[in-house]
Amino acid sequence: MSHVPHELHEEFPEAIETLRALKAGDAHFSRLADEYHTINREVHRIETNVEPAADEVLEDLKKKRLHLKDQIAALLAAAANTAS
């Protein structure tokens, strides 16, 4: 398994401009993106053994990251629908 960080611009390459606009103009989105980034970095550090942790800790962080990604995806979809 490759241990590649899951950055938002890589997860949503088609929405890079929307990501930037929402992060700059929507405090809630910005908070979600910042939290995603923090958890994502922690997952990456654990997966690359920079910061070892128990499997349960890693799985919990991955679930949190996925939940945040789902929320971010919903906000991106809503923004795309209002822009259309």
Segment 13-61, tens digit of pLDDT: 999 999 999 999 999 999 999 999 999 999 999 999 999 999 999 999 9
Q: Are 9 and 16 in contact (CB under 8 A)?
A: yes
Q: Are 35 and 25 in contact (CB under 8 A)?
A: no
pLDDT score, position 84: 65
pLDDT score, position 41: 95
Q: Are 39 and 68 in contact (CB under 8 A)?
A: yes
